[in-house]
Amino acid sequence: MPSSAEPLTVAFVLVSHATDSPAGMERATAALAHGLRQLGHRALIITAIKGVDTVQLTSLNVIFPCDDLELRHAISSRRQDIADELCELYREHQVDVAVYVDALWGLGRLAPACGVRSVLAMHVVGHDEDLAPAVSRADLVIAPSRTVFDHAHQRGYDTTGWHVVPNALLHEHASPSYSWREALRRHGPIRVLARLGPEKNVRALLDAGRSVDRTVDVVVGKAGFEQSEGAQTAELRRCRDSAAHLTLGTFRDGGLRWDQVQPWFCQAALVIVPSLRETFGLVALEAMSVGAPVVAFDVGNLSALIGAGGAVVPRSSGEHGLWRAAEGLLEDPVRYADLSRAAYYRSRDYLPTTVATTFVKAVR
């Protein structure tokens, strides 16, 4: 390892990584890499998908999107070839720290011994057949929230010595003025942005919001991973059917480019995050960063992240509870202004350089 004064070269391994993918792990990885570069370190992202400004891992033979079972089989069938290629890439790029972004999708279960510091970035607690070998091979385990630690501890893992390194904002965008945000409160749309996964709960939210007298804009997108073959296409069809019953608003798939997310939220009265589980809540953070209050269930890390930057309702209240909370917030100009300001200032703790500094302190 370089001395504390020398810059690090950090390689992030995430086989599904693709720029503008509607997935939190991908955006969080890009944001941390960006923050490290801003601090003077070198960072590269190793992915099985050919792209710009990434390093392609060619030995993994898989077609995206794919599910866990397919990827696990692909890794097992080419295990040594993948390990050899990773080690060669580390040597070629003089890597000091290899960050395996997930036990399966980040190849943490493989993590070859290549003379570099091995870090498992556990964004979710996956299957034990991936997680157990990944944890045993890691020199350090990091996660974006205490929620992940709690889940792992409940599964019997010793989380002593693990570190929280939160997700970071990839882009900056100016918040609207007070007067413009007040105009949005009165007339702006409610917006929802999500990956196409059943746990994101978009379909149930749309079913519960059929009588909402407000413009509702929904954008969904497909990631490089899914629960089973065709699952995202099936979820899209269900969401589209539910959206057809909205009184006002728009529904579209294809996601947004990463640099479009905050400008889109900037023009929202508020943002609903209907997820049934979130180990961090990057969409909520992106909304908060432009002063858009967030309405969400009290699940996972969302309560801790949102705090006074929105309305967190009990999961037991159901999706109708999310709509009621949104409508109540929009009817209260004083509370709305307070939450908008709090949302913005809470988001300042998640700038790329701030999170990158936390990461460097953890891995040194």
312-329 confidence digits (pLDDT tens): 999 999 999 999 999 999
The secondary structure element, H or E, covering residue 149 is helix 146-154
CA distance 333 to 338: 9
Over residues 167-196, mean pLDDT: 97
Nearest CA-CA partner of 319 in 189, 209, 168, 188:
209
* pLDDT tens digits along 123-163: 999 999 999 999 999 999 999 999 999 999 999 999 999 99
pLDDT of residue 2: 74
Please provide the average confidence, as pLDDT, over all residues in the chain.
96
Question: For residue 3, what pLDDT band results from cuts at 50, 70 and 90?
Answer: low
173 pLDDT above the threshold of 90: yes
Q: In the prediction, which pLDDT does 4 show?
A: 66
Q: How far apart are CA 70 and CA 110, in angstroms?
A: 16
Digit-coded pLDDT (tens) for 49-74: 999 899 999 999 999 999 999 999 99
pLDDT above 70 coverage of the chain, percent: 99
Average pLDDT over residues 330-340: 98
> Above 90 in pLDDT, residue 337?
yes
3-state DSSP percent of the chain in helix, strand and coil, to 5: 45, 15, 40
Q: What is the mean pLDDT of residues 33-56?
A: 96
What DSSP character marks residue 145?
S
Q: pLDDT tens-digit profile of 6-25?
A: 999 999 999 999 999 999 99
| Mean pLDDT confidence for 81-85 | 98
Domains and CATH numbers, the chain: 9-165 (3.40.50.2000), 178-349 (3.40.50.2000)
pLDDT at position 247, please?
Answer: 83
Type and span of the H or E element at 193: strand 190-195
Q: Tens digits of per-residue pLDDT, 264-293?
A: 999 999 999 999 999 999 999 999 999 999
Task: Round to whole Å and give the CA distance between 30 and 302.
Answer: 21
Q: What is the average per-residue pLDDT within 231-254? A: 94
- Cα(111)–Cα(242) distance, integer angstroms: 43
DSSP code of residue 143: E
Quick one: pLDDT at residue 5?
Answer: 74
The burial of 339, by beta-carbon neighbours within 10 Å (0-12 exposed, 13-18 middle, 19 or more buried), is given as buried
